[in-house]
Amino acid sequence: MAMKIPDILQEIVEAKRKELERQKVNSSLADITDKASQQSSPLNFSGALLGSSIRVIAEIKKRSPAKGDLASNIDVSKLASIYCDNGAAAISVLTNSDHFGGSIDDLRIVAGIAHQERIPVLRKEFIFDPYQIVEARANGADAILLIASMLTLKEMQNLKEVANGFWMQAIFEVHDEEELEKVLACDAEIIGINNRNLHTFITDIAVTERLAPLIPNGKIIVSESGITGPEDLSRITAAGANCVLIGETLVTADDPGLMLRKLV
């Protein structure tokens, strides 16, 4: 009998729901909404992803459910400055604490640095509640991630509406044709193709090569996960992507700035 592969995504979301319940007790929606309303206008995330060459969203990622600690002792402010100085089009901050070692404090620190350089910031999180979007804006995020495999079409539409209310944009993340059909029905402008299956954490760049040609013209395509060097970028560019999101390759590099320059 084949061994059952655990559904890591379900495990992550269940942990996040429990954490969010505790969080709402400590900080009410009214409190964070007031804080969000005091933020300056979000930067143009989609505009940062367009250009004559492929753009890089550089990610701050401390650990992974699949590989454990990647850079647990990382200096978030220093890495954000390195990304800003070496060609990042935007910075993604993984704020999930339970499985990725991140925090909302990381987001706030990075936004404070990146915004000085007019570089937008993405909150990378498992978002299912409007509270998380308001919290993202209150801590400086210009954009959020919405994962199709964990949300219904109606849920995505509702969360998109909340983000629009704060002039924030969203990457709508897909891994297969069914999820792509769902985000297109949601009129997504930015579509992220995750080469990593979030149920098993198996990664394959062929996912971008299969799905990107199915996306209509006029959309911004971001290829995510499993990108390690120029050869991967060549494949992704040939498939039609505008942008890549890279975390592990950068945070584990001896010189993240040099590695980033090789990829931009």
Tens digits of per-residue pLDDT, 125-162?
999 999 999 999 999 999 999 999 999 999 999 999 99
What is the average pLDDT score of the chain? Answer: 93
Flag whether pLDDT at 3 surpasses 80. Answer: no
- Render pLDDT for 4-62 as a digit per residue (tens, 0 to 9): 445 788 888 999 999 999 999 999 999 999 999 999 999 999 999 998 889 999 999 99
Flag whether pLDDT at 1 surpasses 60. Answer: no
Q: Can you give the pLDDT at residue 202?
A: 83
Q: Can you give the pLDDT at residue 242?
A: 95
Q: Can you give the pLDDT at residue 59?
A: 97
> What average pLDDT does this structure show over 207-232?
95
Flag whether pLDDT at 78 surpasses 70. Answer: yes
Q: How far apart are CA 198 and CA 147, in angstroms?
A: 10
Flag whether pLDDT at 2 surpasses 60. Answer: no
Q: Can you give the pLDDT at residue 34?
A: 96
Domains of the chain and CATH, by start: 8-263 (3.20.20.70)
